[in-house]
Amino acid sequence: MTQPKMNLHGVSICPAGEENYERYKDFRGKWLYQYDYRDTDGELFSVAMPTLTECRMRRDKWLNQKIAKANNNQ
């Protein structure tokens, strides 16, 4: 049995501080990337976008918002 790249029994297997992605065709026939990034604190970011660049841009925006929120709470 081969291990899935993105998840095991519906749970992301993305290690902390790393990204996983997989290209797939959706029900309309469009190619998308399923992208997971698990932050070093264990929080998971997940998105599906047409390009890997767009996925990473969304991840960076998420990380920047997370950092800004943490700085405002100090």
- Above pLDDT 90, what percent of the chain? 68
pLDDT at 74 over 60: yes
What's the confidence (pLDDT) of residue 72? 87
Distance separating the N- and C-terminal Cα atoms of the chain: 48
Greater confidence, 12 or 65?
A: 65
Percent over 70 (pLDDT), the chain: 85
Report the pLDDT value the prediction gives residue 2, as an integer from 0 to 100: 43
Arithmetic mean of pLDDT, 30-51: 94
Which residues are paired to 57 by β-bridges? Answer: none
List of residues 6+ apart from 26 with CB closer than 8 A: 32
Q: Where are the domains of the chain?
A: 7-72
Check residue 16 and give its pLDDT.
Answer: 87
